[in-house]
Amino acid sequence: MEELLRTIEQVRGKIEGYRAELRKSEALTRYALVDPILRALGWDTEDPEQVRPEFPTETGRPDYALIWEGRPRIMIEVKPLGTDLKEARLKGINYANTKGVPFFICTDGNLWEVYEVFRPVALEGRRIVTVNLENESPGEAARRLLALWRPAALELRPGPALLIQPEESKPEAAVGGFTLAELAAKVKPHDKPPRLISFPDERREALENWRGLLVAVADWTAPKLRSYQLPIKLGKRLLLSSTAVHSDGHPFRAPKQIGKLWLETHFSAKDCVRHACRLLEAVGVAPDEIRVEF
């Protein structure tokens, strides 16, 4: 456990120090971020009996197959740091399906998503572990990553519950979570994000960070907006518009494309919630109608 904690700290340092280079190179992401985590979890990346790179399947080659008792048990698809993992999820599930491999991981070295391939639900429902090394404490990240510990590979499951909750880990929530309006009044700078958001039409989305909450709300509200309501402004700056450029000519600092629109996402936890409420109000939906769960 101590080795894993040290490795997580080292990987976080590499992400911070070499972010620009890691965003450009999948190979560097694998070498600098993914391999150290695998080794800390007991997978010898130099032993072909444990780890096979570029494992052949009928539909392509996943970056790694983790081998257990001579057969691939887990497949891994790696993308450069900061890459949207949507395509990697679909490719990886396809790879695993063709070989009857029960578990699949997609990662950009910071975000790790673990899927149970043959669970009879939609793709999002098959996700059993999510780890964000930058957004979580090393202890929490290590607890989740222990689901990938090699001796536990036979029955992959989320790590054990924390015995002691860290201070300010999350706001105190009633059973069923908070409404978005309640969350806006309670959220603090270092609170961890909710893990699920639910909309009035029964749409539910898993969340990985505070920006993800804002993106989920924007994605839900954008089709309901009328052209005359755009752009949605924040004083002299823009929140949602047809271009990723503010009124003063400065580009969005962290643009996210939502259909044909662009969303600014460079905000604190509190502002992500506040601006999510702003988007809902723009389409006549009360933030009280949206719930989040931790």
Q: What is the mean pLDDT of residues 275-280?
A: 91
pLDDT tens digits for range 176-227: 467 888 888 888 878 888 888 988 887 888 888 999 999 999 999 988 888 7
Distance CA 293, CA 199 (A): 12
Distance CA 163, CA 248 (A): 50
Q: Which residue has the tokens 């990662």?
A: 107
Yes or no: say if 78 and 30 are a contact pair by the CB < 8 Å rule.
Answer: yes
Q: Is pLDDT above 50 for 55? A: yes
Q: What is the mean pLDDT of residues 9-30?
A: 94
Mean pLDDT (the chain) is 85
Q: Is the dihedral of CA 280, 285, 287, 291 positive or negative?
A: negative
Q: Which residue has the tokens 């009124």?
A: 247
What's the pLDDT score for residue 144? 86
State how beta strands 103-107 and 71-78 pair. parallel
Burial annotation 225-236 (CB, 10 A radius, 16+ → b, else e): beeeeebbebee
Yes or no: say if 157 and 146 are a contact pair by the CB < 8 Å rule.
Answer: no
What tokens appear for 24 in the block? 């450009």
What tokens appear for 11 in the block? 């990987």
Q: Is pLDDT above 50 for 126? A: yes
Distance CA 209, CA 130 (A): 11
Yes or no: say if 143 and 160 are a contact pair by the CB < 8 Å rule.
Answer: yes
What tokens appear for 285 in the block? 């939906």
197 forms beta bridges with 205, 292
What tokens appear for 170 in the block? 């999350």
Distance CA 267, CA 230 (A): 20
Distance CA 168, CA 163 (A): 15
What tokens appear for 254 in the block? 């962290």
What's the pLDDT score for residue 275? 92
pLDDT tens digits for range 147-178: 888 876 655 655 444 333 333 444 443 334 67
For the chain, state the CA radius of gyration: 20
Yes or no: say if 85 and 91 are a contact pair by the CB < 8 Å rule.
Answer: no
Q: Which H or E element spans position 279?
A: helix 269-282
What's the pLDDT score for residue 36? 96
Domains and CATH numbers, the chain: 2-155 (3.90.1570.30), 178-293 (no CATH)
pLDDT tens digits for range 82-121: 998 888 888 888 888 888 888 999 999 999 999 888 877 7
